[in-house]
Amino acid sequence: MTKRQANVFVWIGSLLVLLVSIVHLSPLYILFTNSFKTREELYNNVLSLPSKFSFQYYQVAMERMNFWTSLLNSIVITVVSTILIIVLSAMTAWVLARNESRPWAKWIFMIFIATMLIPFQTIMMPLIQFFGNVQEVTGIPFLNTRGGLIFMYVGFGTAMSVFLYHGFIKSIPFSLEEAAYLDGASKWTVFWRVIFPMLKPITNTVVILNVIWIWNDYLLPSLVLADEHLRTIPLSTFSFFGQFTIQWNLAMAGLLLTIIPVIVFYAFAQRNIIRGVAEGAVK
């Protein structure tokens, strides 16, 4: 085989694999094309393109899903939870890593790791019961509020995040901090000025993993939030489906709306996302 022939061969193979991966995404095409069709058109041929692009189903779906409200709720809950998880777990992991030889630090770290094995379903019921009781006694509204949900996300997110930060911090030499201490800086300053900026690569990982998880989570918010105006995107999708299962064209428009934010996020941060997911898994 000449070099030129080999080249042609590689190209044909490349295009074939690309074709297969496009077929892999065909459900998204089905979602897209049927979101514009009328009921009759949909039942005539699910694979064809729509005869005309009208956005009427999108409008209806947006109204019934309360789309903008749930998008805003999802954004607020995901962003605030993630920021809190990062700040709290980076600070904690730093102190735990720098005191590694002390029993208290060892114990706290071990408990964090061990609890990563607990599936959410094992604690969901007692969690809600417990916070119901706490709310009754203290009057602090944990249930049916965004703040309460964020508090719980911080609790569930810290174990893995502390673990990731801990591993990374151990590779940073102590001498850098020592120099800052000698200059008279406080621990607070050292952390924010010296340590935290150096954590950037692992912070990327922690952000990506937490955002993917919190954004898509259905079960926890479904147990905590009851009011319609508090619903996140997965919650409004669920209730929307409960009511309109039969109207598939409307449902398709609604589903497509919910994945647009994900596609936009992926388009802008693809490299960071893939790197973050890879590092999060390998650590």
Q: Interface residues for other proteins in 64-83 (CB under 8 A)?
A: none
Is position 8 an interface residue for other proteins (rule: CB under 8 A)?
no
- Measured from the CB atom, is 68 or 241 closer to other proteins? 241
Calculate the CA 267 to chain-centre distance: 15
Query: Which 201-260 residues touch other proteins, going by CB under 8 A?
Result: 212, 215-219, 234, 237-238, 241, 248, 251-252, 255, 258-259
Total number of residues shown for the chain: 283
Contacting range for other proteins; rule: CB under 8 A; set: 49-57, 63-71, 154-162, 196-204? 154-162
57, 249 Cβ separation under 8 angstroms: yes
Q: Is 235:225 a contact under the CB 8 Å cutoff? A: yes
Instruction: Give the nearer residue to other proteins in terms of CB position, either 30 or 179.
Output: 30
Helical H segments across the chain, by residue range = 3-24, 26-34, 39-44, 56-65, 67-98, 103-115, 120-138, 146-169, 175-182, 187-189, 196-198, 200-216, 219-224, 233-244, 248-282
> Considering the rule CB under 8 A, would residue 88 count as an interface residue with other proteins?
yes
Query: DSSP readout, 123-152?
Result: HHHHHHHHHHHHHHHH----TTSHHHHHHH
- Tell whether residue 177 is a contact of other proteins (CB under 8 A): no
Binding of other proteins at residue 127 (CB under 8 A)? Answer: yes
> Any residues with CB less than 8 A from the CB of 217 and at least 6 apart, and which?
234
Minimal distance, residue 267 CB to other proteins, in Å = 9
Is residue 101 within 8 Å of 152, Cβ to Cβ? no
Closest approach of other proteins to the CB of residue 48, in Å: 11
**49 touches other proteins (CB under 8 A):** no
Q: Which listed residue (4, 5, 27, 137) binds other proteins by CB under 8 A?
A: 27
* Of residues 69 and 269, the one with the C-beta less far from other proteins: 269
Q: Is 159 in the site for other proteins (CB under 8 A)?
A: yes
Burial of 79 (0-12, 13-18, 19+ CB in 10 A): middle
Site for other proteins contains 198 (CB under 8 A): no
Residue 49 or residue 123: which is nearer to other proteins going by CB?
A: 123
Cα separation of 22 and 74, whole Å? 29
- Rounded to whole angstroms, the Cα distance separating 96 from 30 reads 50
Residue 57 Cβ, how far from other proteins at the closest point, in Å? 14
Q: Rounded to the nearest whole angstrom, what is the least distance from the CB of residue 235 to other proteins in the complex?
A: 9
Spatial distance between the Cα atoms of 110 and 112, rounded to a whole number of angstroms = 5
Query: Is residue 94 part of the contact set for other proteins (CB under 8 A)?
Result: yes
For other proteins, the binding residue among 36, 57, 156, 163 (CB under 8 A) is: 156
Count interface residues toward other proteins (CB under 8 A): 85
In whole angstroms, how close is the CB of 211 to other proteins at the nearest point?
A: 10
